Amino acid sequence: MKIGIVGNYGNDNNGDEAILLSLISQITSTFNVPSDVITVFSNNPKQTAKRYQVMSAPLYYKKGNAVKTFGATYLQNKKIVKTFDLLIIGGGGILMDLYKREAPLYGSYAMMAKNSGVPYVIYGCGAGPLSSELGKWFIRYMGKHAESISVRDPESAELLKSVGVQKSVEVIGDPAFSLKRERKATADRPLKVGITAVPYYHAGYWPESKEDIYQQYIEGMARNLDELAAKHPVEITFFATKFPQDADVTKDIQSLMKEAQKTTVIDRNLLPVDLLQISAEQDIVIGTRLHSLILATCTATPVIAVCYHHKVTDFMKLADLSEVAIPIGEMHKADDHFSKAFDSLAADWNNTCTKTAKLSASLYEKAMKGTKQFTDAIKKTNKNSI
């Protein structure tokens, strides 16, 4: 048996690396196979192969422009794809055209699989934004020929339907919810607070740089954390799921804080197991990156969200936590966003912890049910049966 995985991997985004770790674990346990039957298409094949003990190949071959890159990638990687029993496209927020390349890139893998007679599934993805006609065409193509489609939230399912995907779309949550780590015992009130940030409109990272918006954002974060630290005896730990970009943002925020002495910045690249461990050590995680919220939930750690993207808003809605979801554009307009959300969770702390544990268990079960996509698709291939 040979299985391929394609997504946003090998890019030092450890939220996406958590998805990959979960997918590899699901595949090896579902089919009772070693990890080296898996090939991951990665931005950093050597790193991916070493880290996960899998086979790995370049995600794409850059050739000067998008058309040449598409052609070279198709010709090179179709040779690999045609050897698979199954191709998994996902998870992560890859069904979009915000950065222009995603829909054509991942759509090309759907073409490789279809033209090689290899079944493929779209698995646990997020969808949107989708604004270009080319992007929508590729997403429709991917959906039309997939054996099955699952997404991580209802909004993604609705968006796929709105752009013309006719196949049934199942909502299974994010694959990373299949990761678990036991949360350490806590005091009778929250004291340890973990923080993640994102380079919102920052030059060199965001598709469109707007320095004034970035400054408003980090100043708002600093003031809100100052208010929280002044009101409560908390220990604040900044950590990053995307390194070093997110760590740099947290340093910018820390430098603006009056209560900076109550904060610590973890200035290193944290692998998924590290992120789970750090999350398990917190009482509350205030997350901007989606996967900081997801991994905190995996450890049954209560969360507060700073919603920089609709996928964060969608997750908090799915988790019935919209009351502690703060739009990022509102951060600079008041200093008590965090303290109010913190007070809301702390008011009945035992109940908050119980509800979070139930949410964690529910999302884990839903994520694990998604593996039926793999077994159903494999049964339809004429290659080696399991």
What would the mean pLDDT of 142-146 be, rounded to a whole number? 96
Average pLDDT over residues 309-314: 91
Q: At a CB cut-off of 8 Å and minimum separation 6, what does 17 contact?
A: 9, 51, 271, 272
- Phi, psi values for residue 92, rounded to 5°: 85, 170
Sign of the four-CA dihedral 108, 111, 116, 119: positive
For residue 385, pLDDT over 60 is answered with no
Task: Give the pLDDT score at 381.
Answer: 64
Question: What is the distance between the alpha carbons of residues 332 and 345, in angstroms, rounded to a whole number?
Answer: 22
Q: Is 132 helix (H, G, I), strand (E, B) or coil?
A: coil
- Is there a contact between 16 and 92 (Cβ–Cβ < 8 Å)? yes
Residue 284, pLDDT above cutoff 90: yes
Any idea what DSSP says for residue 62?
-
Average pLDDT for 8-12:
92
Give me the mean pLDDT over the 316-344 stretch: 96
Residue 246 has pLDDT above 70, yes or no: yes
Question: Greater confidence, 219 or 187?
Answer: 219
Q: In the predicted model, is pLDDT for residue 366 greater than 50?
A: yes
**pLDDT tops 70 at residue 369:** yes
117-141 mean pLDDT: 93
Which phi and psi (to 5°) does residue 42 adopt? Answer: -135, 150
pLDDT higher than threshold 50 for residue 263: yes
Residues 62-104: tens digit of each pLDDT: 888 878 888 999 999 999 999 999 999 998 889 988 777 788 8
Q: Which residue's entry shows tokens 């900076």?
A: 260
Q: pLDDT at position 220, please?
A: 98
